[in-house]
Amino acid sequence: MPTTTPALSAPSAGAALDATTIERRDLGEQDVLIDIQFCGICHSDIHQVKDEWGGSIFPMVPGHEIAGVVAAVGSAVTKLSAGDRVGVGCLVDSCGECEQCRAGEEQFCVKSAVPTYNGRGYDGEPTFGGYSRQIVVRERFVVRIPDSLELQDAAPLLCAGITTYVPFKHWKVGAETTVAVIGMGGLGHVAVQIAAAMGAEVTVLSQTLSKQEDGLRFGAKHYYATSDRATFKELAGSFDFILNTVSANLDMNKYMRLLAVDGTLVNVGAPSDPLSVGAFTLIGGRRSLAGSAIGGLPDTQEMLDFCAEHGVKPEIELIGAGEVGEAYERVESSRVRYRFVIDAATIGAASTGG
């Protein structure tokens, strides 16, 4: 029997989220039924609810930072059992056979990976995300949450953590690397902690100095305001590696010039407008501009274990289902400190209006 579960759903582009119920598919042989306990709010949820990237599917149940407990497993599930503490990130399926899937880079599946929400499964049905009480996911796409991480703290790592861990790993950031992180929101505040834990010398480039104390507490050595023009003069040519986590469009030329010779700026922020870079900005200093999308399942497990070992912990504000609209407004105006996490028990609970 399919499972019916309460959820928060956007009926159309930009509309407020309504309380509703959705169906989860029958538990297949390789499936895991998860009681969701917490789900983080990623800026990507807002981009998609507002259809800022185009092609959004409505009604939409957002949420790809899911932490919960296994309720039941299908007959062919071997690694998980009821009661296990688990997470689900941005992917719920992929072909499993292509070169990318075999390499554990399911996000680049040539057949196209299935996103946790705002996508369609290989059965053609729309996928619904973590702003709900239960979800059914193939075992391959479920990761274990280490015992030392609280579920509500682990939730944001399933997107903000993996999206920032992978570029640092891929571009071999380490003790000798000078790193700048642009934007200290949900992704940025985790990025600062991860890069510092990898031994890098981290600088935060934020719009103002209002979060400086927090940035230094997260492990940054330096903190600069990008609203101050002197910042760009002082830091020109300084960094081996820059991670841009900003959700809006920036003047990339200004930031690229902060790279040292052979430096790389990796963009993970996802504004809808194109990024524009002058040829001479790239040519001078042999600089690279690159991008990175979330991460595969092996890296997601590795990232969770890394965060548990190094004490990387998102700073969260736990909210009820009725507070999601206000949370979206605060994220959009850079007033998030630093990740909103929905207490899934409040979804469908009468007292919250959620």
Burial (CB < 10 A; 0-12, 13-18, 19+), residue 220, is buried
Residue 156 is a binding residue for ligand NAP (CB under 6 A): no
Using the minimum distance from each CB to ligand NAP, give the nearer residue, 144 or 254. 254
Cα(300)–Cα(331) distance, integer angstroms = 24
Encoded amino acid at 287, one letter: R
Q: Which stretch binds ligand NAP (CB under 6 A): 133-141, 193-201, 280-288, 290-298?
A: 290-298
x/- string (CB under 5 A) for Zn ion, residues 15-54? ---------------------------x-x----------
Residue 109 is a binding residue for ligand NAP (CB under 6 A): no
Look up residue 40 and give its two tokens. Answer: 């983080």
Residue 245 is a binding residue for ligand NAP (CB under 6 A): yes
CA dihedral (60, 44, 194, 142) in degrees, to 10, reads 20
Q: What are phi and psi of 342, to 5 degrees?
A: -85, 130
Query: Shortest CA distance to 112 belongs to which of 88, 89, 94, 138?
Result: 94
Looking at residue 60, the DSSP 8-state letter turns out to be: B
Using the minimum distance from each CB to ligand NAP, give the nearer residue, 31 or 299. 299
- Could you say which of 186, 314, 348, 354 contacts ligand NAP (CB under 6 A)? 186
Pairing relationship of beta strands 31-40 and 114-115 according to DSSP bridges: unpaired
- Could you say which of 159, 242, 252, 259 contacts Zn ion (CB under 5 A)? 159
Look up residue 190 and give its two tokens. Answer: 């985790």
Using the minimum distance from each CB to ligand NAP, give the nearer residue, 65 or 240. 65
- Could you say which of 248, 278, 309, 329 contacts ligand NAP (CB under 6 A)? 248
Look up residue 62 and give its two tokens. Answer: 């957002």
Question: Count of residues binding ligand NAP (CB under 6 A)?
Answer: 28
Sequential DSSP letters for 136-204? EEEGGG-EEPPTTS-HHHHGGGGTHHHHHHHHHHHTT--TT-EEEEE--SHHHHHHHHHHHHTT-EEEE
Residue 319 is a binding residue for ligand NAP (CB under 6 A): no
Q: Are 104 and 166 in contact (CB under 8 A)?
A: no
Q: Bridge partners of 259? A: 239
Quote the least distance from Cβ 39 to ligand NAP, whole Å.
13
Residue 193 is a binding residue for ligand NAP (CB under 6 A): no
Cα(1)–Cα(26) distance, integer angstroms = 5
Quote the least distance from Cβ 203 to ligand NAP, whole Å.
12
What radius of gyration do the chain's Cα atoms show?
A: 20
Question: Binders of ligand NAP among 292-311, rule CB under 6 A?
Answer: 292-294
Encoded amino acid at 8, one letter: L
Q: Which does 247 bind (CB under 5 to 8 A by kind): Zn ion, ligand NAP, none?
A: ligand NAP
Quote the least distance from Cβ 314 to Zn ion, whole Å.
12
Residue 42 is a binding residue for ligand NAP (CB under 6 A): yes
Q: Are 231 and 283 in contact (CB under 8 A)?
A: no
- Could you say which of 151, 258, 324, 331 contacts ligand NAP (CB under 6 A)? 331
Cα(22)–Cα(8) distance, integer angstroms = 9
Using the minimum distance from each CB to ligand NAP, give the nearer residue, 30 or 207. 207
Residue 185 is a binding residue for ligand NAP (CB under 6 A): yes
Cα(220)–Cα(213) distance, integer angstroms = 10
- Could you say which of 32, 49, 61, 187 contacts ligand NAP (CB under 6 A)? 187
Quote the least distance from Cβ 329 to ligand NAP, whole Å.
11
Q: Which residues bind ligand NAP (CB under 6 A)?
A: 42-44, 47, 159, 163, 183-188, 206-207, 245-248, 250, 268-270, 292-294, 331, 334, 336
Which residues of the chain form contacts with Zn ion (CB under 5 A)?
42, 44, 159
